Amino acid sequence: MQFLKPILAIVVAYLLIKLGVPFLGSLMHPGTWPVVPSAVMKMYMAFIILGTLLSYTYSEEGYNALIGPIVDVYSNPAKAAIKFGLVFVIGAFGAFVAYQYVKPTFDPPVELRSVHPAPPSSAELWGKSFQIQSLKNPLRDDKANFAKNVEEGGAIFFKNCFYCHGDKLDGKGHFAAGFNPLPANFTDVGTIAQLTESFVFWRVGTGGPGLPGEGTPWISAMPVWHTLLSEEELWKVIMFIYDYTGYAPRVTTEVK
Amino acid sequence: MKGRSMATRFITDKLGRAGLAAFGLILAAALCAPTQARAASGDVQNGAKIYNKRCWWCHGKKGAADGPAATFLVPPPRDFSMGVYKYKTSAPTTPLPRDEDLFNRITNGMPGTGMPAWNDVLSDKDRWDLVAYIKSLTDLFGKEANPPALDFGKKKMGADMVEKGKKAFQDAKCFECHGQAGKGDLTKKLKEDSGIREWPRNLTKPWTFRGGNTPEDIFSRVTNGIPNTQMNSFAAATTGNGKLSEEDRWAVVNYVMSLADDSKKVKDGVTVVKGILRDALPKDENDPAWDTAPSTAYFLVPQIIQKERFFTPTNDGLKVRAFYNAKEVAFQLEWDDRTKSMPGDPVAESIAWDTLTPDAVAVQMPIGTFTGNEKPYFGHGDTSHAVSMLYWSAGTVQAPNAAKLFDYTGSGKREEVDPKTAGFATSASYKDGTWRVMMKRTLTTANKEKVTQLEPGQYIPVAFANWDGSNGEAGSKHTLTTWYWLLLMPPTGSEVVVIPVVVFFALVGGQLAAAALMKKK
- Closest residue in B to A97 (Cα) is B500
Burial class (CB in 10 A: 0-12, 13-18, 19+), B114: buried
Do A238 and A116 share a structural domain? Answer: yes
Q: Is A252 among the domain residues?
A: no
Length of chain B equals: 521
How far is Cα of residue B319 from the mean position of the Cα atoms in its chain?
A: 11
Whether the Cβ atoms of residue B463 and residue B338 lie closer than 8 Å to each other: no
Q: Is the pLDDT of residue B438 over 90?
A: yes
Q: Tell me which chain A residue has its CA closest to the CA of residue B488.
A: A106
User: Does B305 sit within 8 Å of A95, measured CB to CB?
Assistant: no
Contacts of A36 (CB under 8 A, 6+ apart): A17, A18, A21, A22, A44
A132 within domain boundaries: yes
Q: Where does a domain end: A84, A102, A120?
A: A102
- Search chain A and give the residue with CA nearest B503: A95
Question: What three-state secondary structure class fits A166?
Answer: coil
Residues A149 and A208 in one domain: yes
pLDDT in the model for residue A77: 83
Residues of A in contact with B481 (CB under 8 A): 178
Distance from CA of A234 to the nearest CA of B (A): 16
**Any idea which of A60-64, A216-220, B374-378 has the lowest mean pLDDT?**
A60-64
For residues A57 and A40, state if they share a domain. Answer: yes
Q: From B24, B58, B51, select the one nearest B137 (Cα to Cα).
A: B51
Output the DSSP codes for A55-93.
Answer: HHSSSHHHHHHHHHHHHHHHH-GGGHHHHHHHHHHHHHH
Domain spans of chain B? 1-41, 159-258, 268-490, 493-521
- The pLDDT, as a whole number, for residue B19 is 47
- Give the other-Cβ count within 10 Å of A47's Cβ: 11
pTM of the model: 0.85
CB contact residues (below 8 A), chain B span 48-67, against chain A:
53-54, 57-58, 67
Same domain, A44 and A116: no
- For chain A, say whether B483 makes contact (Cβ under 8 Å): yes
Chain B partners of A74 at a C-beta cutoff of 8 Å? 511, 514-515, 518-519
**Range list of H helices, A76-214:** 80-102, 146-160, 162-165, 197-206
Dump pLDDT digits (tens) for A157-192.
999 999 999 999 999 999 999 999 999 999 999 999
Residues whose CB is less than 8 angstroms from the CB of residue B516 and which lie 6 or more positions away in sequence, other chains included? none
Last-in-domain residue among A61, A84, A102: A102
Give the pLDDT band (50/70/90) at residue B33: very low
Burial of A40 (0-12, 13-18, 19+ CB in 10 A): exposed
A233 assigned to some structural domain: yes
Q: What is the mean pLDDT of residues B98-111?
A: 94
* For range B240-260, the mean pLDDT: 94
Give the chain A residue whose CA is nearest to the CA of B376: A218
**Residue A52 belongs to some domain of the structure:** yes
- Give the three-state DSSP class for B417: strand
Going by pLDDT thresholds of 50, 70 and 90, the confidence category of residue A246 is: very high
The verdict on a CB contact (< 8 Å) between A95 and B503 is yes
Q: If you measure CA to CA, which chain B residue comes closest to A93? A: B504
**Record: contact A75-B519, CB cut-off 8 A:** yes
Q: Which domain holds residue A93?
A: 4-102
B272 to A108: CB separation less than 8 angstroms, yes or no: yes
Residue A142 and residue A58 share a domain: no
Which pLDDT does position B39 carry in this prediction? 64
Q: Hey, are the CB atoms on A178 and B492 less than 8 Å from each other?
A: no
Lowest mean pLDDT among B247-256, B370-379, B461-470: B370-379
Residue A179 domain flag: yes
Q: Is the pLDDT of residue B226 over 60?
A: yes
Q: Which residue is closest to B119 within chain A, CA to CA?
A: A168
Residue B387: pLDDT band (50, 70, 90) is very high
Q: Is B247 helix (H, G, I), strand (E, B) or coil?
A: helix
Last residue of a domain, one of A82, A102, A122: A102
A-B CB pairs within 8 A amount to 168
Single-letter code of the amino acid located at B180: Q
Q: How confident is the model at residue B38 (pLDDT cuts 50, 70, 90)?
A: low
In a domain, A254, yes or no: no
pLDDT score of B3? 39
Whether the predicted pLDDT of B31 surpasses 60? no
**Average of pLDDT values for A181-209?**
93
Asked, colleague to colleague, whether B159-258 and B268-490 share their fold, the answer is no
Q: Which of A156, A168, A213 sits opposite B116 (nearest CB)?
A: A168
Indicate whether A206 and A123 sit together in one domain. Answer: yes
pLDDT tens profile B398-427: 999 999 999 999 888 999 999 999 999 999
- Residues A149, A118: one domain? yes
Query: Does residue A133 share a domain with residue A63?
Result: no
A97 with A128, same domain: the answer is no
Residues 201-230 of B with CB under 8 A from A: none
Task: For residues B89-112, give the mean pLDDT.
Answer: 93
Residue B32 main-chain phi, psi, to 5 deg: -65, -35
For the cut 80, the answer to whether the pLDDT of residue B374 exceeds it is yes
Calculate how close chain B gets to A178, using CA atoms only, in Å: 5
A250 within some domain:
no
> Do the chains contact at B499 and A98, CB–CB below 8 Å?
yes
The nearest CA of chain A is from the CA of B20 a distance in Å of 19
The architecture in CATH of the region B159-258 reads Orthogonal Bundle (1.10)
Give CA separation, B310 vs B59, B392, B476, B487, in Å. 21, 21, 8, 31
Number of structural domains, chain A? 2
Chain B residue with CA closest to A72: the answer is B518
Judged by a CB distance cut-off of 8 A, whether residue B519 touches chain A is yes
The answer on pLDDT for A26 being more than 90 is no
pLDDT digits (tens, 9 = 90+) for A56-65: 888 888 788 7
User: Does the pLDDT of residue A133 top 80, yes or no?
Assistant: yes
Nearest Cα of chain A lies from the Cα of B43 at a distance, in angstroms, of: 22
Domain B268-490 class in CATH: mainly beta
A88 CB neighbours in chain B (<8 A) are: 508
Do the Cβ atoms of A29 and B6 come within 8 Å?
A: yes
For residue B401, the tally of other CB atoms under 10 A from its CB is 16
Rounded to an integer, the average pLDDT of B108-126 is 93
Q: Note which residues in 249-278 of chain B have CB less than 8 A from chain A.
A: 266, 271-272, 274
What mean pLDDT is predicted for residues A114-134? 89
In angstroms, the separation between the Cα of residue A112 and the nearest Cα of chain B is 9
Report residue A31's pLDDT band, with 50, 70 and 90 as the boundaries.
confident
The distance of B109 to chain A (nearest Cα, Å) reads 11
State pLDDT tens for residues B293-348. 999 999 999 999 988 899 999 999 999 999 999 999 999 999 999 999 999 998 88
Cα–Cα distance, A225 to B19 (Å, whole number): 42
pLDDT average, residue stretch B191-195? 87
